[in-house]
Structure 1
Amino acid sequence: MTDALTDLLRQPHHDGSPLYCDAETPTIGWAVKVRVRTDPDDPTTQMWIRTTYDAEPVYHQCVQVQRDGLPAGSTWWEGELPVHNPVTHYRFLLADAEENQSWLTAAGVVTHDPADALDFKLSTHAEAPAWGREAVVYQIFPDRFARSAAADERPTPHWAVPAEWDDTVVFEGTDPRTPLQFFGGDLDGVTEHLDHVADLGVTVLYTTPVFPGESNHRYNASTFDGIDPLLGGDEAFERLSHAVHDKGMRLLGDLTTNHTGDTHEWFQQAAADEDAPTRDWYCFRPQGGYETWMGHHTLPKLNYQNTDMRAAMVEGPDSVVARWLRPPFDVDGWRIDVANMTGRLGVVDGAHDAARAVRRTAEAERADAWVIGEHNHDASADLDGDGWHGTMNYSGFSWPVWSWLRHPDTPARPFGRPLAVPRRGGSEVLTSLREFAARYGWRATAQSWNILGSHDSARIRTQVGGDAAVHRVAAGLQFTLPGVPMLFAGDEIGLEGVLGEDSRRTMPWHRPESWDTATLDAYRALAGLRTSTPALTRGSLRWAHADEDTLVFVREHPAGSVLVAARRAAGDAVALPASAMLTGADEIAGDLLLSTEKGAADLKVRKGTVQLPAGGPGLTVWSL
């Protein structure tokens, strides 16, 4: 058992939200006002901002302030942070009357000298578009989502193993049928079910690749010049785009910038002739053969040292990145597959340059384009703000949440690890969440995707051992912690999957009796609450309590704040200090906004203490 963390609200706090920072995206030359909140009983008597000026540490003193718009019941310190570099790193030095010192970093308060990697960050580079930052994203794997009537008229491709819609998905990696099993979902099938997507409260539809490729996943593209005829071709994609936009949603494409398929016209030309103009577009080895994605010969790696390849793929108006953002397709941005490896090979590291190129090109076509990079470990080195807006946050969200909610007997397997995800207590999980948020920085964390699973991972329903109530706790965290919730089609009705390929099961449209409607209702409610509550998209994050089975936090915003309690198992009532939470006992509304469990009640405030009722498993949100 790990120790409970019960005094979190009394710790000094700062983050990049409006209460604590006057400019989330400053301009070089500005002096940004930043604030720290301390408990009235906190012994701090002196405070400084420590930042770096061209990598040299400098200190700026803070003073206590009282001003409108800052909640009472706390002591507020304010200082001016000079913005001299494109990304400004900073932390706070605190001292008491005896000059006992501590540091306030983005990972919390420490009494040792911490590494700069955990400093707060301010980026002068443009932030993600508001529609992305405030989105609810829905991922579709086209082959498994829905078939239109037109799909029945198309011949099965030569490479495919045909399957009926209710057939079992072949998912063992050693089975050659895994990438070839063909269920025949198409884009008109997606269009026909957009009412379901919109009814969930989704604002962004994201499809995995729609370019032709000799596999069901299509990450081995054979061309970028047209949409796969098996999906209905360019006309079907145009129909989908119009339908998505007519419903007030956005459309996000999926582009593999690291490699193509070995059947791609560029590679076919290069492999056939050493003097071909596209030969140096790939990484052919002098001793024979070529570089690939992780040893898969069907996925030859692109060479970002070649300017012609960059122009064809990621740079300029004629590139793949640009063309599909224009009418008639009007894609609103890209999720970049294998973003972490794009431009990287041995001693060569052009990943950041590639990310910048993608973003520059996308924004030249659409000023509010959104670009998200795939990355399944620490993505902090790639998130300074001028490349990817954010990442698919596996390490900073998925794995910690999995480890907290994992059922001891689940058969679900994580990708990339030789062992199963361990089961951990709330205090350890909180530490992991805080460290990754610190590494990414406030803005990049808020712009990255909170994912409980995807087409590449196990389903959350299987991770929690099929427990619907615990699944809803996970969904609640996905929508209430900083970050953009992305759900994989079928999560909302309780689909399962042991690993990535197995999670790509078909949507059972014809079997609504198999749906978990309580979980469907929970996703709808969570999406509605997120969309209507600025604190959940722009508000601060202050941790309030953590024990083995409970996590409690506050999201603060000038327009209104909320308290969130998540329990993975039944637990006792939790008492929190009202004065440390917001403005004192008399100012706390405590109205119930949402709960994934029945019988949840309003908060009770007694003698300056906020009483969170016993309960669980479940996630509950109250107003403050």
Structure 2
Amino acid sequence: MKKHLLAPILSVLTILTSCDTTSNSKVENHWPHAGITYEIFIQSFYDSNGDGIGDINGVTKKLDHVKELGANAIWFMPIMPSPSYHKYDVTDYNGIHPDYGTMDDFKNMLKSAHEKNIKVVIDLIINHTSSEHPWFIESKKGRDNPYRDYYVWAQKDTIADFINKKTITLDSDNIRQWHDPGNGEDFYYGFFIGGMPDLNFDNPKVREEIYEIGRFWLEEVGVDGFRLDAAKHIYTDDRPKDNHAFWKEFRSEMTKIKPDVYLVGEVYDMKEVVAPYLPGLPALFNFDFHYTLLESYKKEDGMLLVRKQKEILDFYKDITDEFIDATFSSNHDQPRLLNSLDENPKKLKQAVTILMSMPGAPYLYYGEEIGMMGKKPDENIREPFLWDIRANDSGRATWIDAEYSKDDVVTPLAIQKSMSTSYFNHYREIIKLRNTNRALALGDLEFYSEDLSKPVMAFLRKYEGQELFVIHNLGQEEQSINVPESFQAVLFSLGNGSLENNIVRLPGYASIILEK
């Protein structure tokens, strides 16, 4: 074995020390409200037929990996036919991209996942279609075409002031949103790019088309729910109330088919903008969690994330008690977590420990559990999963040459499984702890009110009489924290954290969880 394959792990031999208090505990599935969802980009996951592209049958082969990790559900990035590698521009809403397999392959995978008690959520992209979708091909033929009003069209003179709009938003760096199909007279609206024309949801026929698509996937195929892409952009930003109303209508239509349908929305904005979507989208991604987690490390400010998270949860509770806080530390649009944390292995292990010790329903992005690397452009955040050393890795996708997640940088899963200090075994252990401890999964979040050094993050998790005290040191220097006498049991320790005489000592980037 090449020495460099072990380097990312051997350099952190002392990071993980945990107490085996979960071996006799019952593993529980808290999905959707507090369970764990694993995000997969199929193209890069596992190639079952040797064509270089990951596929659905490859996912079926690797469902045991999801199960072993401890995740309760899978979110698939787009699986429908599309002209692009990422497939966020759909040409057929009722199909499977041929590179990924067939509908029978998908149904077989779904059956296998359900047998393993793994739920399946698919990306549903309804803000826009591909410009190659049959609806749009018809729509651009002329103003009298039956599909014309499936999209948003305007004559050049009515939008002259907006054609060269130069507004960059949180979720798009596109600076042109009105596009010329070629005649220079009529322009169509596409918030993201010209190849993704926005659908016109003022047209009741469009709304009914979308509801029929949802019914197809829930009723005929059998998925458990949808991740709703660009949920904020069903209507333009100056029509937020119309957006909110649409999603309530969408939820009502979907629950007629599947009363327990899971809907998670991508609303990329601050809590005041996000919260009004909750009645329609009971689960929403918490982008503030991701960015504040990274900011906490940069500033070595331990309580920054706790304050932000408490603020968000309290704000949401004022709107509805029935919400799911979809927390995440990375995803397919953000640089890989290890890159965002200065390629520091201790920080990576601690970051997922923070994610799993906080309230919410955490999402994990494929490959983070083995320390995959990646920066923009997006293709390099979506590089192939490393299952084994290259000579043995027949399932590794080759559709792209990896720039970051290479064999001399990332230790493959097969090797990590046998190493007690590996990223994978740490992910598996902290997930198991969450899945066997109700206070950690379901408990309320409370501040610890005593004075703390700035790098220290400390909070309480309480659930039905159980109380945990969670402490993380986000700085490089060792920290000592006085703890109440009632907390005498060490439930979990990362990085040689210790408790003695009511004093917790945490080296840099160490964590400890105490129980009464």
Shift of 1:426: 2.4
Residue 538 (structure 1) aligned to one of 431, 442, 452: 442
Q: Secondary structure at the match of 2:460?
A: strand
Residue 363 (structure 1) aligned to one of 245, 250, 255: 255
Q: Secondary structure at the match of 2:195?
A: strand
Matches within 5 A, 1:207-606: 207-287=76-156, 288-294=186-192, 296-314=193-211, 319-327=212-220, 329-344=221-236, 346=238, 349-384=241-276, 385-395=278-288, 397-406=289-298, 423=299, 425-441=301-317, 447-499=324-376, 500-511=378-389, 513-515=411-413, 518-544=422-448, 546-568=452-474, 569-576=476-483, 578=484, 585=485, 588-597=486-495, 599-601=496-498, 603-604=499-500
- More deviation, 197-206/338-347: 338-347
Counterparts of 1:486 and 1:371, CA distance in 2? 14
Contact 1:133 1:537 in 2 (8 A): no
Could you tell me which residue of structure 2 aligns to residue 34 of structure 1? Answer: none
CA offsets 1:66-88 (integer angstroms, 9 cap, x no match): xxxxxxxxxxxxxxxxxxxxxxx
Change in 2 beyond 3 A, CA 1:428/1:249: closer
Counterparts of 1:391 and 1:564, CA distance in 2? 25
Contact 1:522 1:596 in 2 (8 A): no
Shift of 1:547: 3.5
Unaligned runs of 5+ in 1: 1-128, 153-182, 407-422, 579-584
Contact 1:144 1:506 in 2 (8 A): yes
Counterparts of 1:306 and 1:450, CA distance in 2? 34
Contact 1:446 1:483 in 2 (8 A): no
Contact 1:325 1:365 in 2 (8 A): yes
Shift of 1:259: 0.7
Counterparts of 1:236 and 1:444, CA distance in 2? 38
Contact 1:566 1:620 in 2 (8 A): yes
Contact 1:383 1:389 in 2 (8 A): no
Shift of 1:393: 0.8
Could you tell me which residue of structure 2 aligns to residue 173 of structure 1? Answer: none
Counterparts of 1:445 and 1:431, CA distance in 2? 21
Change in 2 beyond 3 A, CA 1:245/1:525: same
Residue 44 (structure 2) aligned to one of 99, 123, 144: 144
CA offsets 1:36-70 (integer angstroms, 9 cap, x no match): xxxxxxxxxxxxxxxxxxxxxxxxxxxxxxxxxxx
Counterpart code for 1:461: L
Change in 2 beyond 3 A, CA 1:589/1:463: same
Counterpart code for 1:143: Q
Counterparts of 1:231 and 1:431, CA distance in 2? 43
Counterparts of 1:551 and 1:269, CA distance in 2? 57
Q: Secondary structure at the match of 1:274?
A: coil
TM-score by length of 1: 0.65
Counterparts of 2:363 and 2:296, CA distance in 1? 19
CA offsets 1:154-198 (integer angstroms, 9 cap, x no match): xxxxxxxxxxxxxxxxxxxxxxxxxxxxx5211111111111111
Could you tell me which residue of structure 1 aligns to residue 22 of structure 2? Answer: none
Counterpart code for 2:38: Y
Change in 2 beyond 3 A, CA 1:237/1:493: same
Change in 2 beyond 3 A, CA 1:242/1:559: farther
Change in 2 beyond 3 A, CA 1:429/1:530: closer
The structure richer in strand per residue is 1
Matches within 5 A, 1:147-186: 147-149=47-49, 152=51, 184-186=53-55
Counterparts of 2:240 and 2:368, CA distance in 1? 39
Contact 1:452 1:459 in 2 (8 A): no
Counterparts of 1:326 and 1:285, CA distance in 2? 37
Change in 2 beyond 3 A, CA 1:349/1:242: same
- More deviation, 228-237/272-281: 272-281
Counterparts of 1:330 and 1:341, CA distance in 2? 27
Shift of 1:429: 4.0
Counterparts of 2:307 and 2:60, CA distance in 1? 42
Matches within 5 A, 1:28-43: none
Counterpart code for 2:93: F
Q: Secondary structure at the match of 2:458?
A: strand
Contact 1:552 1:563 in 2 (8 A): yes
CA offsets 1:82-104 (integer angstroms, 9 cap, x no match): xxxxxxxxxxxxxxxxxxxxxxx
CA offsets 1:347-375 (integer angstroms, 9 cap, x no match): 57521122112211222221111111012
Could you tell me which residue of structure 2 aligns to residue 48 of structure 1? Answer: none
Counterparts of 2:218 and 2:503, CA distance in 1? 51
Shift of 1:336: 0.4
Q: Secondary structure at the match of 1:185?
A: coil
Shift of 1:445: 9.7
Contact 1:134 1:531 in 2 (8 A): no
Counterpart code for 1:487: L
Shift of 1:554: 0.6
Contact 1:258 1:337 in 2 (8 A): yes
Q: Secondary structure at the match of 2:264?
A: strand
- Residues paired across the two proteins, number: 427
Counterpart code for 2:509: P
CA offsets 1:579-603 (integer angstroms, 9 cap, x no match): xxxxxx4xx3532222232x344x4
Change in 2 beyond 3 A, CA 1:342/1:487: same
- More deviation, 333-342/529-538: 529-538
RMSD: 2.2
Shift of 1:277: 2.1
Contact 2:46 2:55 in 1 (8 A): yes
Contact 1:449 1:483 in 2 (8 A): yes
Could you tell me which residue of structure 2 aligns to residue 193 of structure 1? Answer: 62
CA offsets 1:130-169 (integer angstroms, 9 cap, x no match): 63112111000111111111x53xxxxxxxxxxxxxxxxx
Q: Higher relative contact order at CA 8 Å, sep ≥6: structure 1 or structure 2?
A: 2
Contact 2:453 2:479 in 1 (8 A): no
Shift of 1:616: 3.1
Shift of 1:433: 3.2
Counterpart code for 1:564: V
Could you tell me which residue of structure 2 aligns to residue 112 of structure 1? Answer: none
Counterpart code for 2:90: A
Shift of 1:304: 1.2
Counterpart code for 1:481: M
Q: Secondary structure at the match of 1:133?
A: coil
Contact 1:445 1:482 in 2 (8 A): no
Counterparts of 1:344 and 1:621, CA distance in 2? 45
